[in-house]
Structure formats: structure tokens, C-alpha cells
Amino acid sequence: MLRADGAGSAGAGRGAGWRTTLTNGLLAGAAATLARELVSSLDMAVRARPSSDTHERMVRRIAHGSHVSLGTGERATNRLAGLGPVLGFANGVLTVTLFALLTRRRRPLPPVSAVLVGAGGMLVADAPMAALGVATPQSWGMQGWFEDGPPYVAYSLVAVAALDRLERGSGRR
């Protein structure tokens, strides 16, 4: 049944409202972020590389700039260890959600959508880090960018597939 505000349930068709799109974006973003984190963790296991602390450093910079205390000693370390991944998860989910909302009326073809989501995810993650001086992407070189690529390829492919599936299930397409 389609409601007056356009937010419908199954069978809502192309007029599916922004609430349905928001929900689909959040769910697709969660699935995509899980895929990104799984590929990144598998890369760490296969190549025996250390985990990145860039999200924790971002949290530290944001807290410092906002004059928010994370505590001292072990308490601060534990908070950073918890909030760092939360920042990464939030970036991943919100990027796909924003993409879903911005392309709600007219979604590009899946290959174009995948490129936009992957590039957007990297931009949302890397631009604030560069702006706050936590990371310098321009110094990564081709190897660094290549290593950052597979998790975002998985992220973008899962995001686009999940959005498509959710929208077909809600009758959007």
C-alpha cells in the first residue's frame, strides 16, 4: 500500500518514499561495510600485515578539536579502540545511505553505481583523514592505493547488489 507521503510497503513501485530508500540504504550500507571489513581482515591474515590505527587517530583528533576528553591512560586507549571502528562503520553505512537517497529517483546502471559508491566510500574515509593530517593519501603511491582497493571493490559490489535486491523486494524497480 502506498501512503500519501510516498513511503510505501512492498509493491510501492517507483514512487517508494524516502523512508524506504533510507532503510534500504542503511541495510545495504551495513552489508557493504561488513564486506569491506571482511576483505580487509582477510588481507591482514593472508599478508600478516598490522591493522591500521587511522580511525583511532581520527577519533583522537576529533575529540581534541572538540575539547572532549576520552579519559586518561588505559581508559582513553580502550575508548579509542572502540570508537575507531565505530567511525569506520558509520562512514561505510552512511556513504551507501547517502548514495541511495541521492539516486533514489534515477539510479545509474550497476557498474556506474559501483564505481560511484567505491569512490565515494574512499573519499568519505580518506578526505577527512587528509584534512586533519591523520593520513597523507598523496604519499601512498600506487602500491598503497592498490592495497586499499580490494576492500572497496567488495564494498561497492555488495552495496549495489544489496540495494538492487532490497528495492526489488520493496517493489521500487
Say yes or no to pLDDT of 148 above 90: no
What is the percentage of the chain residues whose pLDDT exceeds 70? 88
Longest distance between any two alpha carbons in the chain, whole Å: 55
* pLDDT score of 122: 93
Residue 173's pLDDT is 55
Q: What's phi and psi for 168, nearest 5 deg? A: -65, -35
Pick the more confident residue, 157 or 8.
157
The set of residues, in sequence order, having a beta carbon less than 8 Å from that of 26 and lying 6+ positions away, is 93, 96, 97
pLDDT tens digit sequence for 71-92: 999 999 999 999 999 999 999 9
SS3 content of the chain, % helix, strand, coil (to 5): 75, 0, 25
Closest of 117, 107, 123, 110 to residue 154, by C-alpha: 117
Break the chain into its structural domains and give their ranges.
13-51+93-169
Confidence at residue 1, expressed as pLDDT on a 0 to 100 scale: 34
Q: What is the pLDDT of residues 127-141, one digit of tens each?
A: 999 999 999 888 888
Looking at every residue in the chain, the average pLDDT score rounds to: 88
